[in-house]
Structure 1
Amino acid sequence: MPDAVPPLSFNPAGIELDRRHGLSRQLYQALRGRVLDGRLASGTRLPASRDLAAALSISRNSVVRAYDQLYAEGFIEGRVGDGTYVAKLSPLAMPSGKLSTKPSTGFSTGLPTALSTVQLDSPVFSSSKVIHSNALERVEKHHLAQPPSGPPRAFRVGVPAFDLFPFDVWAKLNAAFWRKPDLQQLCYGDAQGDARLRGLVAAYLRSSRGLHCSAEQIVITSGAQQAISLCAQLLVDPGDIVAVENPGYRAAGHAFAVAGGDVRGVPVDSDGLDCAALAALDHCRLAYVTPSHQYPTGVVMSLARRLELLAWAGRNDGWIVEDDYDGEYRYSGAPLAPLAALDRGGRVLYVGTFGKVAFPALRLGYLVLPPGLVDAFARRRAVDVRHSEVSTQAVMAEFMAAGHFQRHIRRMRRAALARRDALLAGWPEAVAGVGAMPTVVAGLHVTVPVQGIERERELIAQATCVGVEINGLSSYWLPATAPSQICAGMVLGFAAVPPAAIGTALASLAKAWGIR
């Protein structure tokens, strides 16, 4: 019997850390880069945190934090009693067997931009003159109910703890802007958005997400929904097949349908979007995903699946629209690196929003685009709104520059964690037809499984009678989904109201559902 092959060894030589900056983040980036470019092969055994700390002359805590982030993102794995190893990633999931870590500076030679053939200067770009009759039928099928209005209550989905927003600080900054405004700022602005705000957003994404981007790649939008709509308008011709998660964010599917897209649902499993099902869609070159916290199931897309999705885009000259709608909210470790941080082929369009860390009515979001798409997106947006409202951008830029934004994010994350814990602690158990409350590691909502759509509707109706707001999971599937494929559940947002109000709502639910 042959001897077992010993694991590959890891040599920390070549890892240079700048002690003036965050050591754990630098180490995480260095190790992640070595995994992606093949210098750290699958199965390589990493040194114990204490040993690596000694080799690099840094604290063990810095190594532990770097390892924790790599664990969370799936780059490394622990083997009980046997140490830490580089995770096994299929070479087939990577372009050419590996992924370059050099930041993208644009499109490679010959890479088609594949923008919609509808003319940008057409005044009826999104009108019924452009959308043919079949597309209009799809629009009707994708009709959406309006989001709930009024003051937030338990358990409204998609609403952050905006009762904690520092409105006094915002008011002072807003007053300062209007007290002595720069007259140049009161003229027509840049269609891409305020240059200072774009620079600060780029800096924030570099530090918090590991996303190497510049201000020139960013287009400010009126919320995430406008960003998604721009992607639909510019990347979809009538009849084009567009893949969306199923179940998923229905408003995204609606935007692609309005643009004339043939919207197809792709199943979601425990690793995220099913890339095998995606690959089976002939002539599909656009996929919309929420990888950091799938909406509404809450699944976090695995690293292997992320690489497989990027490889799909590369093979098909396709685009990926990545909606990182609540990526700030991760309850252990730093936020996960987005798909866009792994993309080296200029295939990912990254959608971000301020609405989930400030308040929904702010209507301020952004797109991070491959360089070759920026001009087209800016010109398309100028057709609709010319540019974003000036003072909101200027005030947000000052809010970020003065450090209020980062402090507020930390406060919001702590508040969301406390509100999540209140929901988990008080959730009524042994409700007939209701599955176990899942673990909640990220985001602002959780989905609890229910046995059957009829039971889902009954539970939600009973909750509505006592003033508790719950969404049904069955409503998140595309209209064309076969009934046998639709799963039932209850989607609960836990961030909208304080823990005390959550406790009151849970008591009402227990009474309505007959739980003592």
Structure 2
Amino acid sequence: MPDSPALSMPFNPAGIELDRRQGLSRQLYQALRLRVLDGRLASGTRLPASRDLATALAISRNSVVRAYDQLYAEGFIEGRVGDGTYVAQLPLSAPSAKKLSTKVSTGFSTGLPTALSTILPNLPGVSSSKVIHSGAAQRLENNHLSLPPSGPPKAFRVGVPAFDLFPFEVWAKLNAAFWRKPDLQQLCYGDPAGDARLRGLIAAYLRSSRGMQCSAEQIVITSGAQQGISLCAQLLVEPGDAVGIENPGYRAAGHAFAVAGARLHGVPVDAEGIDCAALAQVGDCRVAYVTPSHQYPTGVVMSLARRLELLAWAERNQGWIIEDDYDGEYRYSGAPLAPLAALDRQGRVLYVGTFGKVAFPALRLGYLVLPTGLVEAFARRRAVDVRHSEVSTQAVMAEFMATGHFQRHIRRMRRAALSRRNTLMAGWPGNIPGVGSLPSVTAGLHMTVAVDSLAREQQLLEQAASVDVEINGLSSYWLPGSSSSPDWRAGLVLGFAAVPENAINAALLRLNRVWRT
């Protein structure tokens, strides 16, 4: 059968303009990705060999190879053995690339109230039954929120970066400089959306490192990612609304939606991420919470096909996707994957970011990247809750970023996490009864190991605690009443970045001893 005209049409690099003062590989990657998304590069189109494209664009071959590598990693292109490189087949269920605008929508109707809610939990004289939907209240009553452990980090605490490597001396100098001669204007009440300079620097960082076309005006500073999720729950959910959350997933996010009165629907996660077919079966659901860069806790990286399918779901249902990119900076082959928000052309994704996973958790500094039409409502709601974030922390972080310390620190943290991951994998006790093999880990700060039964999981956790090793059970991440077999839900969730290599090796020796007895 002859090739279709679209497939036989050669790729023409004309029109790709690169600024030689900027990163060439990043620009080329973005240009090719945009052409795939808007239909100028159809599925099945053969791309030039890296050497030929480099010659055509008058750039180094290494720049083309790096751009191709990132497109491979994100699923936009694929290699065919002995036949070259082709644009990957995008799912038919994804929104048509030609229908997608290349700009974030600013005039869409939310279909949801943008006025601040006057229903606040735990107000004197207000019955909780009027605030929290009965189903959500039952979930909260049956399943108390577990707070993160405090105290010095242990192996293998989940959700903690290598903050022993944070440049505290640099931070102290910047902090002292701020307070030595503060700008009196900064000591007055500030913008509820956050410090303008910090918002601008965050937007610039996301544009350069994550491929997000966002502006400072779309960003609202928060007290960590959890407050960002809670704001989404407060403003996008009315009592009784259905919300789809990953199952297993980040339980604190589920609690935030439950407090807002949502009916939680656990949506299964498979090897490609959240099951969009199952999500589509949830009636009247218009809000979904996901962790696509590194699913929490399974570690799955959402495929490009699944990302486009999820965006199509949001467009079809005029819904919202809350993307929690809690540890997206940590990828161990190639650059970090572009988030969902970078693929969104309809203004349906609310992006949650945090500094806690690259600095230290006690910093309590995060941010939201919002569709333009939602920024004012979120800023007003935040003004009611806390007025604005603490000023000096924002100012010091802005200076930390502006002077290049932030990017250098991210590179240092990525190298440290990779080294600590390798130490864990090299020393992991093998052939422990009931424990599966270690997975391959290409991203994030934790891994999940299968265990053959819930009883065995609990036994392993108790034995680990007896030798001062901290491990989470996968069973604790499932919603109550999940349909999956209890034994199928068992596993060990291991953070590998919290402590240095010598502490990891010592913990592994203790585990090996106690688990074999």
**TM-score normalised by the shorter chain: which range applies?**
over 0.9
TM-score under structure 1 normalisation? 0.96
Letter paired with 1:124: L
- Structure 1 residues 513 and 402 mapped into 2: Cα distance closer, same or farther (>3 Å)? same
1:58-93 deviation per Cα after TM superposition (whole angstroms, max 9, x unaligned): 111000100000000000111122211111112321
Q: How does 1:48-447 map to 2 (within 5 A)?
A: 48-94=49-95, 96=96, 98=98, 100=100, 102-108=102-108, 111-115=109-113, 120=116, 122=118, 124=120, 128=128, 129-447=130-448
Letter paired with 1:114: L
Q: Distance in 1 between matches of 2:355 and 2:481?
A: 32
Contact 1:244 1:289 in 2 (8 A): yes
96-105 or 463-472, which deviates more: 96-105
Contact 1:154 1:502 in 2 (8 A): yes
Q: Distance in 1 between matches of 2:300 and 2:119?
A: 40
**1:454 matched to 2:452:** no
TM-score under structure 2 normalisation? 0.96
- Structure 1 residues 385 and 3 mapped into 2: Cα distance closer, same or farther (>3 Å)? closer
State the identity as a percent: 75
Contact 1:354 1:364 in 2 (8 A): yes
Q: Distance in 1 between matches of 2:187 and 2:206?
A: 28
Q: Distance in 2 between matches of 1:342 and 1:3?
A: 32
Tell me by how many angstroms 1:132 deviates.
4.2
Structure 1 unmatched ranges of 5 or more? none
Q: Distance in 2 between matches of 1:369 and 1:74?
A: 25
Look up the SS of the partner of 2:322 in the other structure: strand
Q: Distance in 2 between matches of 1:213 and 1:443?
A: 24
Contact 1:91 1:97 in 2 (8 A): no
Contact 2:287 2:319 in 1 (8 A): yes
98-107 or 24-33, which deviates more: 98-107
Tell me by how many angstroms 1:7 deviates.
4.6
385-394 or 142-151, which deviates more: 142-151
Q: Distance in 2 between matches of 1:132 and 1:502?
A: 44
Look up the SS of the partner of 1:85 in the other structure: strand
Look up the SS of the partner of 1:93 in the other structure: coil
Look up the SS of the partner of 1:10 in the other structure: coil
1:19-42 deviation per Cα after TM superposition (whole angstroms, max 9, x unaligned): 111110011011101111111111
Letter paired with 2:118: S
Contact 1:113 1:373 in 2 (8 A): no
140-149 or 158-167, which deviates more: 140-149
Look up the SS of the partner of 2:485 in the other structure: helix
Q: Distance in 1 between matches of 2:365 and 2:274?
A: 27
1:296-354 deviation per Cα after TM superposition (whole angstroms, max 9, x unaligned): 00000000100000010001010000000000000111111100011111100000000
Look up the SS of the partner of 2:40 in the other structure: coil
Q: Distance in 1 between matches of 2:312 and 2:290?
A: 15
Contact 2:135 2:263 in 1 (8 A): no
**1:493 matched to 2:495:** yes
336-345 or 479-488, which deviates more: 479-488
Look up the SS of the partner of 1:152 in the other structure: coil
- Structure 1 residues 123 and 186 mapped into 2: Cα distance closer, same or farther (>3 Å)? farther
Letter paired with 2:408: R
1:80-134 deviation per Cα after TM superposition (whole angstroms, max 9, x unaligned): 222111111123212x4545362215134xx334237xx6262736752422444
Q: Distance in 2 between matches of 1:121 and 1:229?
A: 13
- Structure 1 residues 439 and 132 mapped into 2: Cα distance closer, same or farther (>3 Å)? closer
74-83 or 470-479, which deviates more: 74-83
Q: Distance in 2 between matches of 1:41 and 1:123?
A: 49
Q: Distance in 2 between matches of 1:26 and 1:293?
A: 25
505-514 or 354-363, which deviates more: 505-514
RMSD across aligned positions (CA): 1.6
Partner of 2:16: 15
Tell me by how many angstroms 1:141 deviates.
3.2
Letter paired with 2:13: P
**1:506 matched to 2:479:** no
Look up the SS of the partner of 1:460 in the other structure: helix
Contact 2:133 2:262 in 1 (8 A): no
Q: How does 1:36-55 map to 2 (within 5 A)?
A: 36-55=37-56
Tell me by how many angstroms 1:139 deviates.
2.4
Structure 2 unmatched ranges of 5 or more? none
Contact 1:33 1:101 in 2 (8 A): no
Contact 1:91 1:98 in 2 (8 A): no
- Structure 1 residues 3 and 174 mapped into 2: Cα distance closer, same or farther (>3 Å)? closer
- Structure 1 residues 428 and 302 mapped into 2: Cα distance closer, same or farther (>3 Å)? same
Look up the SS of the partner of 1:92 in the other structure: coil
Letter paired with 1:506: L
Contact 1:416 1:494 in 2 (8 A): yes
Contact 2:223 2:389 in 1 (8 A): yes
Q: Distance in 1 between matches of 2:117 and 2:438?
A: 51
Q: Distance in 1 between matches of 2:233 and 2:204?
A: 27
Look up the SS of the partner of 1:91 in the other structure: coil
Q: Distance in 1 between matches of 2:18 and 2:430?
A: 49
1:186-244 deviation per Cα after TM superposition (whole angstroms, max 9, x unaligned): 11111001111111111111111111111111110000000000000000000000000
Contact 1:228 1:252 in 2 (8 A): yes
377-386 or 82-91, which deviates more: 82-91
Contact 2:323 2:351 in 1 (8 A): yes
- Structure 1 residues 126 and 13 mapped into 2: Cα distance closer, same or farther (>3 Å)? farther
Q: Distance in 2 between matches of 1:504 and 1:15?
A: 53
179-188 or 233-242, which deviates more: 179-188
Q: Distance in 2 between matches of 1:123 and 1:295?
A: 30
